[in-house]
Amino acid sequence: MKLGCICGTFNRSFDSGRMDQIRFLHRCAKDLNVQGVELQDIHFPQTRPVYLQTLRRTARELGLSIIGVGVHNDFGRADPTLRQSEVTKVKQWVEVAEQLGAPLVRVFAGYPEGEREARWPAMIDALREVAEFARHGGVRLGLENHNHGAFTPTADEFLRVLREVNSPHLIPLLDTGNFTDGWPSIQRVVGLVAHVHAKFWQVAPDGSDEKVDYGRIFPALRQAGYDGWVSFEYETPEPEETGIPRSLAYLKKMMG
């Protein structure tokens, strides 16, 4: 397994202006000592080619792989025009990923406006369309499980989406902290995942997470033969300055 870091780990620093993408790359290489980085759409000040080339060159000089770009999309919109605008958004970020040399674009199924089953077919159609677009760009889409009223709160819905879209260019991306039932759903998908987000919601004194059982998750990943990326994602109320070093050290220990 290879360790990366999602830029959302430093959301508060980005929001305050203390962090930008270039600083994030340097922090990951020099302080966190990770091998890869995941960028997110919300942190890009621009996407002009010269800027993307600068990001790509800086990552390469620092010995970092740009392993993915995260998109905050929503295919649960009831209005067809708004839903199509979300499709267009994902396609635009696929093109950004191509320019960055990133092999993966993280996507969501979204949040159904109204009854889930009523919105389901249009969501599947949208994912099929963007997966086909990604195929032509040599990029894969990582479908992340999501809770909080989303289409994929448990493994049942998550696996159903993947089965119905039925594209090798839409792969399962496990967020360890997002299934509403936790371990029961993780256990069902851990042997299938192609990318992992290691979420930290509440860091204990030893660096472990009080809501995510990494003592079961990592042995299960190893047993399944997983050798892909594990991206550190810090979303706890504890300040970044104290919580990130402790939780990241714990994650490195669990990865062995």
Per-residue confidence (pLDDT) for residue 148, from 0 to 100:
77
pLDDT digits (tens, 9 = 90+) for 187-208: 999 999 999 999 999 999 999 9
Residues 6+ away with beta carbon under 8 Å from 240: 9, 10, 12, 13, 234
Supply the pLDDT for residue 237: 94
Q: Which of 185, 87, 217 is nearest to 141 (CA)?
A: 87
Task: Label each residue of 47-72 as H, E or C.
Answer: CCHHHHHHHHHHHHHCCCEEEEEECC
Helices 155-165 & 116-137 angle (0-180, nearest 10) = 50
Instruction: Output the pLDDT for position 147.
Output: 87
What mean pLDDT, rounded, does the chain reach?
Answer: 97
Q: What is the topology classification, in CATH, of domain 2-255?
A: TIM Barrel (3.20.20)
Q: What is the pLDDT of residue 35?
A: 98
pLDDT of residue 14: 97
pLDDT tens string 99-158: 999 999 999 999 999 999 999 999 999 999 999 999 999 999 999 999 879 999 999 999
Cβ within 8 Å of residue 210, ≥6 positions away:
201, 202, 203, 204
Average the pLDDT over 70-93 and give the result: 98
Indicate the DSSP class of residue 75.
T
pLDDT, tens digit, 9 for 90 and up, residues 4-50? 999 999 999 999 999 999 999 999 999 999 999 999 999 999 999 99
Tell me the average pLDDT across 211-240. Answer: 97
Answer yes or no: is pLDDT of 248 > 80: yes
Q: Tell me, what's the pLDDT at 118?
A: 97
Question: How many CB atoms neighbour CB 180 within 10 A?
Answer: 14
Examine the pLDDT at 83 and tell me if it is beyond 80.
yes
